[in-house]
Chain A
Amino acid sequence: MSKRIWEHPAEQPKSRKYFRSLGELDDTPEFREWVAREFPQGAAMMADEADAGQSRRDFMKLMGAATSMAGFGLASCRRPESRILPYSKNVEWVIPGKALYYATVMPKAGGCTPLVVTTFEGRPTHVQGNRLHPESNGSVDGFTQASVLDLYDPDRARDFKQGGKKSTRDEFLAFLDAHKAELTAGAGQGLALLVDAVPSPTRQRLLARVTAKFPKARVFRYEALDFDGARVATEQVFGAGVVQVPHFSVCEKIVSLDCDFLDLHRPKAGTVSRFMNGRRAMKPGDSMNRLYVFESRYSLTGGMADHRLRVHASQMMKVTVALARAVAVATGDASLTAAAAGVKLEGSYKPRADYDAFVAETAADLVASKGGRAMVLAGPQQPAAVHALVAAINAALGAYQVAAGQSVPALELQQQEAAPAGTLEELAQAVQAGSVTTLAIVSAADPCYDAPASLKWADLQKSIKTVVHVGFRDRTATARAATWSVPGTHYLEQWGDVRSMSGVYSIVQPMIMPLLGGVSDLEFLSLLASDTPLAVKVEPVAPAAPMNGAVPEESKDPGYLAVRETFAALATGEVEVAWSLALRDGLLAGTRWPAFTGALKPASVATLAGGFQDTAAPTKDAFEVTLVPDSKLWDGRYINNAWLQEMPDSISKVTWDNAALLSVRTATELGLDKYLRDEADTLVIEVGGQSVTVPVIVSPGHADHAITIALGYGQAGKGAAGPGRVGEGTGVNVYPLRATASTYWLAGAKVTVPGTKVPLATTQEHHTMYGRELIREGTAERFAETPAFATTEGMDSHIPPDYTFYKQEGRQGQIGATGGLFGTTPHLWDKQHQWGMVIDLNACIGCHSCSLACQSENNIPTVGKRQVIIGRDMNWIRMDRYFAVDVEGGKATEGKEWEYAETSGAVAGGADENSDHAGGHGSAEPARELDDPEMVVQPVACQHCEAAPCETVCPVNATVHSEDGLNLMVYNRCIGTRYCANNCPWKARRFNYFDYNKRANTEREGSLLDLHPNNLYLGPLGELKEDASLRLQRNPNVTVRMRGVIEKCTYCIQRIEAAKIDQKKTTRRQAAAAGVSDENLTVTAEDLRIPTDTVKTACQLACPSDAIVFGNLRDNNSAVSKLRGNKDIVGDEHGVDPHPRNYQTLRYIGARPRTSYLARIKNPNPALLAASPIEKRKVGQASAHM
């Protein structure tokens, strides 16, 4: 099975080793076998067949029968008749075949993500960020990017249901009329409304109308992931309704205490970019901000940290107190000293030998930037006491002040409008007291599944006489248990409004009529508050229609009317004009929350901090379990989204499941398998009287004796009673472990290893590259000394220029050369356009926005868990996550000593060593490199090599070069030999083993044709996808690939070609405007060049940190030319020099990739490096690999 391997140059002794999995690090035989097999599926498939009790021979027999049957079909073969269905009446702005873009926002708890949505003939297909919105840099997070797929989810709510039986809208309205009459008689006695935390002014207004109509009605608010701590703390420390908005762009020093502000706790869409702007390192010697992270598991924020310390989530208060003391001493802040002294701590804590020095230097560094240039952020899941103390630290540091030369403080305080509502606990008490007879749930939350176990919400809900659930998903436990289930609308098909985090009034605009005739939250509340009988049917209107005023006012969508009413009260000047502008821009300017003018109340800080209940540090007998939001499903609401399910988790690289993350040391202690492939060990966790069994993933950099599990999986039920076809049977539900909605960790967990294994699909070893390292990194200091360090180290320092195995220039017969097949022009002859891409590893945080944007733009299918396990995932952009350990030169080749290399030798004053482990980890073993590695990320897609290795091996010229430097993949020529993928050094090509787009990927049971338990394996006999609605999401400008072809990144060629065509049309229009008759028209080659930086790829637009730059290398002004340099393209005398950090991966092969990378730069604190030998070892120099 193994293929011939070209002997890469011998590795040089190195000081740093990068690896994606522990198998790769230890170079296990299993890992070697996996790598050596280009397509490792063969053996796995045979194993599967054996499992199914079938042989390959049976399969062939049946396939033969199927083929001969297809032969009969051929006899009646004739051209299929297809139809063109034009509009009957023209639709304003719609040009068939052209996209239309509308601004809207995706509402979220506490804010929104501003968007521009691409629609084709009324179908939303793709979302991107809205740069006009002050909170956005034009990027989107993964949840938002994938939300467009939810719109077309065949398993979304479609019918009105009464007691689980299908009903109709009219019946529901009749019920509502009758029920309202009953409620009115008792002034709303017994009516309760449960809403989610979307800050919608119109919804708030309608709720007020409902409570005005039913004075005794009560409103409650619930989110499964309610970050109560931060809210309670700001309320008590500052005042009710105060919100804290961080401004990263002005900060020099940032400390995160368990706050994943770059990913899961991202406050605003533009946060990452603004944080990165402080550390772009575009010139040697540029100032960079510095990030310290204290956290229990690796988060993306921890991966970006300049200094990171493993701290248990439950022990964060101890770190906060230590930091507060140090800051108080340095600033002389008496109230901070008092507050820190008032905290009662349980035992001592020392997570690492250099802990004291680490905290002292962190505090000193913060104080050095005090007065509006330093801030401390606490994770939203941390308790109020931590937030209060952190607020006091920030006050002492002057984070709420505006620094000289800046316009905003590091932390801005704003005064929100108060929107009082009860909590789920209060609602539960009211239900128990019998004072709730009617409950309307207008929320995306699913309390029957995700409410804290102690509430026993599912039972409580049953005891309520009438429960009406309005939601976009009705395959939830809550909707199923409701008396009435009303299908809700997706945010892309409804009117609405949201206050963004900083208060900007943003409009939710529908892109399409409700596909399944749903009822929006605003419409439902309007119906509830309405005084007129509802039995008259209300027809919603098309989104664009109100522009011409043709729709009579009374038949308009009530949601639209309600939003207009709110808007009229907010807008100034001519309301119609303001409305049109707001629809265009997606927001109403000048609507930020006012500034909060009060000050910190030290007494409240002292009270909150003094009331803190501390817990002892976890030990091997009492584990800590940390529950985190899932990076893909959030609280579980996206469980039926296939894109998100199949996207590898940013850190663990697990798809289709959640898993328990453990440190290497803890896993070794428990005797668990470190080398996960296909199957994972399980762990039984018992805590607080509850028990769960979870698959295990070993996660370097995790705190010891602690377990991290993501919430949101394991939603029970099968078929129609389950969460949907995609989400069914995925993961394990860990919500039952929670005591309250703000419980994020549990102490005193007992773990046992039952010894069973479960299949787990993880991609961390997929598409590995024989350990050929791609990463280069250095420190700010090194960058200042040797700017071009990335291109002068390792192999790069001694390869001859223009060295290549794959010579293509002057090659005759290259398709694309003028003069046909036997032309003589060099293959890259286009003088106007040569495309290239640069990815800044300094800015890339390793989220999966680019991958999801690519999936949405390029019609990339999902393949399902079984297919991922056998290495067939299809994502064009693979996000590599490497851990890095420091190894002393040359040792790695001799054995594995480095794995157990003790840091003790490096620690000054070995006496610290014992106290370290006694206090922190309860283990006598010394710390190991693997316990605490560095983490780096790198997105890899097709590199569009000028001398592409894939092109020389294709027997049918299905992958060739275009004249403008694209490595083309021609699906209609591809015969599926997969030679190209085999020969790609970057492993960037993906193969369609099945008709993933066309055939349902369902497990089958009990059918005669069950050759294989999966429908895909039945080939042409398999069932087609039932979910035709998903086809509506496809981008019409990209081919939907069928079985048997290779695919890969195209640099979004559809966008490039569209821009070229547009440019060709523009020149003619310009000439017409100039009054030249067309025969005298002269169009120069320069006229046909696409304007600088106007073509942007989907990944580039989605990137939250603006790390991806794409453009024309023939254009000296383009951003990509300035980063990559273009002297190799346009000649030495005309071109510009590359950025010093620019380097090509695998340059010694000579494939000349068009995608290059900028080396990563870290900005360590010199004082901390001097004080702590551990940190000095950890800080990345550069990959001296090869």
Chain B
Amino acid sequence: MLPLWVIVGVLTIGGMVTAGVTYYFTPKYTRVGYTPSQPVAFSHRIHAGQLGMDCRYCHSFVEESGHANVPATQTCWNCHQHVKKDSPNLAKVVESMETGEAIPWVKVHQVPDYAYFDHSVHVNRGVSCVDCHGRVDEMTKVSHDQPMSMSWCLDCHRAPEQKLRPLDQVTNLGWKPENVDRQALGERLKKAWNIHPPESCGACHR
């Protein structure tokens, strides 16, 4: 028979290790809050927040393609050939326009290569940008808002009614309808739009 303190000690250490792994080794800890510095100090807070630009002005193919494209330099240039053209913050944009070299944006959200997330099907079926990306319109530097782990995906796939909203509010990140029961609205939309999010592996893993 082992001494009691050994048993208690092993159990405690074991419990601590388990708890530690459960918390620290998950995307909730490792990913959320990741805020890399970008080569151009682009502020979503100014553009999407203060100026009220729609997400789709820059991420123009989000409704068409699986990728929500990062805009071409040309998109920046549409406005910035007139606005603040000489600002040192925009030096890399000007340089990119002149040389044709891409601006090397740092990737914030990354799903594994074997997972195929499709933006278009989500935004076309009433899932808002904010549900995965958070209040980007309030971020000066874009930061990883949600864990984006598989179980987190499935939370919503199993109960989409929590997140569904009218299609014209998908890019309205601050949408807070008054006197509307989100749960009831979600359930109604889910039924009307025949939403059955896939839960089989093949939906994302090919």
Query: Bound state CA distance, A1054 and B205, in angstroms?
Result: 9
CB distance from B146 to the nearest CB of A (A): 16
Residue of B nearest to A78 (CB): B30
Structural contact, B65 and A960, CB atoms closer than 8 A: no
CB distance from A997 to the nearest CB of B (A): 12
Structural contact, A960 and B201, CB atoms closer than 8 A: yes
Query: Bound state CA distance, A1078 and B189, in angstroms?
Result: 9
Query: Bound state CA distance, A975 and B88, in angstroms?
Result: 52
Query: Bound state CA distance, A968 and B205, in angstroms?
Result: 9
Structural contact, B194 and A98, CB atoms closer than 8 A: no
What 7 A-B pairs are tightest by C-beta distance, nearest first?
Answer: A816-B200, A97-B67, A962-B200, A85-B102, A1078-B167, A97-B65, A88-B73
Query: Bound state CA distance, A200 and B196, in angstroms?
Result: 54
A95 contact from B61, B74, B115, B189, Cβ within 8 A: B61
Of B7-15, B45-53, B106-114, B129-137, the one with at least 4 CB within 8 A of chain A: B106-114
Residues on the A chain within 8 Å of B121, using CB: 1061, 1064-1065
Q: B36-59, CB under 8 A of A: which get 1 and which 0?
A: 100000000000000000000000
Structural contact, A88 and B74, CB atoms closer than 8 A: yes
Residue of B nearest to A970 (CB): B201
Query: Bound state CA distance, A82 and B113, in angstroms?
Result: 13
CB distance from A615 to the nearest CB of B (A): 58
Structural contact, A972 and B205, CB atoms closer than 8 A: yes
Q: B115-129, CB under 8 A of A: which get 1 and which 0?
A: 110101100111000
Of B16-24, B79-87, B93-101, the one with at least 4 CB within 8 A of chain A: B93-101
Query: Bound state CA distance, A809 and B48, in angstroms?
Result: 50
Interface presence of B203 (CB below 8 A): yes
Interface size class of A (residues with CB under 8 A): 35 or more
Given contacts A86-B105, A1079-B166, contact A818 B199 (CB under 8 A): yes
Residues on the B chain within 8 Å of A1083, using CB: 192-194
Interface presence of A548 (CB below 8 A): no
B105 contact from A84, A97, A1057, Cβ within 8 A: A84
Residues on the A chain within 8 Å of B70, using CB: 84, 86
Residues on the B chain within 8 Å of A95, using CB: 61, 64-65, 69
Q: List 29 A-B contacts (CB under 8 A).
A: A83-B107, A85-B103, A86-B103, A87-B73, A87-B74, A88-B73, A88-B102, A89-B73, A95-B69, A98-B64, A815-B199, A818-B196, A960-B201, A961-B200, A968-B201, A971-B205, A1039-B114, A1054-B116, A1057-B116, A1057-B206, A1061-B66, A1061-B118, A1064-B121, A1064-B124, A1078-B126, A1078-B166, A1079-B189, A1081-B192, A1083-B193
CB distance from B196 to the nearest CB of A (A): 8
Query: Bound state CA distance, A972 and B149, in angstroms?
Result: 14
CB distance from A808 to the nearest CB of B (A): 14
CB distance from A71 to the nearest CB of B (A): 17
Residues on the A chain within 8 Å of B206, using CB: 1037-1039, 1050, 1053-1054, 1057
Structural contact, A1065 and B120, CB atoms closer than 8 A: yes
Q: A774-801, CB under 8 A of B: which get 1 and which 0?
A: 0000000000000000000000000000
Given contacts A86-B102, A968-B201, contact A81 B72 (CB under 8 A): no
CB distance from A74 to the nearest CB of B (A): 13
CB distance from B190 to the nearest CB of A (A): 11
Interface presence of A76 (CB below 8 A): no
Residues on the A chain within 8 Å of B201, using CB: 815-816, 960, 962, 968, 970, 973
Structural contact, A89 and B74, CB atoms closer than 8 A: yes
Residues on the B chain within 8 Å of A97, using CB: 61, 65-67, 69
Interface-centre pick from B100, B107, B114, B192 (highest chain A CB count, 10 A): B114
Residues on the B chain within 8 Å of A970, using CB: 201, 205
Structural contact, B113 and A87, CB atoms closer than 8 A: no
Structural contact, A1088 and B104, CB atoms closer than 8 A: no
Residues on the A chain within 8 Å of B66, using CB: 97-98, 1061
Interface presence of B168 (CB below 8 A): yes
Residues on the B chain within 8 Å of A1079, using CB: 166, 189
Query: Bound state CA distance, A1084 and B196, in angstroms?
Result: 12
Interface presence of A11 (CB below 8 A): no
Interface-centre pick from A87, A95, A961, A962 (highest chain B CB count, 10 A): A87
Query: Bound state CA distance, A971 and B205, in angstroms?
Result: 8
Interface presence of A321 (CB below 8 A): no
Given contacts A962-B200, A972-B205, A1057-B116, contact A86 B72 (CB under 8 A): yes
Residues on the A chain within 8 Å of B30, using CB: 79
* New contact pairs (17) apart from A88-B96, A97-B65, CB-CB < 8 Å: A82-B110, A84-B105, A86-B103, A88-B100, A815-B200, A963-B200, A970-B201, A970-B205, A1037-B116, A1039-B205, A1050-B206, A1053-B202, A1057-B203, A1079-B166, A1084-B194, A1087-B194, A1088-B194
Given contacts A89-B73, A1082-B192, contact A79 B67 (CB under 8 A): no
Residue of A nearest to B110 (CB): A82
Structural contact, A968 and B72, CB atoms closer than 8 A: no
- The main secondary structure of chain A at its interface with chain B is loop
Structural contact, B114 and A972, CB atoms closer than 8 A: yes
Structural contact, B64 and A88, CB atoms closer than 8 A: no
Interface presence of A532 (CB below 8 A): no
Given contacts A88-B101, A1068-B124, A1083-B193, contact A79 B72 (CB under 8 A): no
Question: How many residues in B have their beta carbons less than 8 Å from beta carbons of A?
Answer: 57
Given contacts A89-B73, A960-B200, A1037-B116, contact A820 B158 (CB under 8 A): yes
Residues on the B chain within 8 Å of A88, using CB: 72-74, 96-97, 99-103
Query: Bound state CA distance, A536 and B38, in angstroms?
Result: 41
Residues on the A chain within 8 Å of B205, using CB: 968, 970-972, 1039
Given contacts A815-B201, A1082-B192, A1084-B194, contact A86 B69 (CB under 8 A): yes
Query: Bound state CA distance, A1061 and B63, in angstroms?
Result: 11
Interface presence of A1085 (CB below 8 A): yes
Q: A77-111, CB under 8 A of B: which get 1 and which 0?
A: 00101111111111000011110000000000000
Interface presence of B175 (CB below 8 A): no
Interface presence of B71 (CB below 8 A): yes
Structural contact, A83 and B105, CB atoms closer than 8 A: yes
CB distance from B32 to the nearest CB of A (A): 12
Structural contact, B107 and A84, CB atoms closer than 8 A: yes
Q: B170-206, CB under 8 A of A: which get 1 and which 0?
A: 0000000000000000000100111010111111011
Interface presence of B152 (CB below 8 A): no
Query: Bound state CA distance, A96 and B73, in angstroms?
Result: 15
Residues on the B chain within 8 Å of A962, using CB: 198, 200-203
Structural contact, B72 and A90, CB atoms closer than 8 A: yes
Residues on the A chain within 8 Å of B194, using CB: 1083-1085, 1087-1088
Interface presence of A1040 (CB below 8 A): yes
Query: Bound state CA distance, A961 and B73, in angstroms?
Result: 44
**Interfacial residues of chain A within 1075-1102, with CB under 8 A of chain B in the complex:** 1078-1085, 1087-1088
Query: Bound state CA distance, A100 and B63, in angstroms?
Result: 17
Query: Bound state CA distance, A960 and B199, in angstroms?
Result: 12
CB distance from B204 to the nearest CB of A (A): 9
Structural contact, B199 and A81, CB atoms closer than 8 A: no
Q: A967-983, CB under 8 A of B: which get 1 and which 0?
A: 01011110000000000
Structural contact, B71 and A98, CB atoms closer than 8 A: no
B106 contact from A81, A815, A966, A1053, Cβ within 8 A: A81
Query: Bound state CA distance, A871 and B44, in angstroms?
Result: 55
CB distance from B152 to the nearest CB of A (A): 15
Residues on the B chain within 8 Å of A1078, using CB: 126, 166-168
Query: Bound state CA distance, A1038 and B56, in angstroms?
Result: 27
CB distance from A1107 to the nearest CB of B (A): 25
Query: Bound state CA distance, A104 and B198, in angstroms?
Result: 38
Residues on the A chain within 8 Å of B96, using CB: 88
CB distance from B30 to the nearest CB of A (A): 7
Query: Bound state CA distance, A1037 and B204, in angstroms?
Result: 10
Structural contact, A1061 and B64, CB atoms closer than 8 A: no
Structural contact, A1065 and B124, CB atoms closer than 8 A: yes
Query: Bound state CA distance, A816 and B202, in angstroms?
Result: 10
Query: Bound state CA distance, A1064 and B194, in angstroms?
Result: 10
Query: Bound state CA distance, A1084 and B71, in angstroms?
Result: 35
**Interfacial residues of chain B within 143-176, with CB under 8 A of chain A in the complex:** 158, 166-168
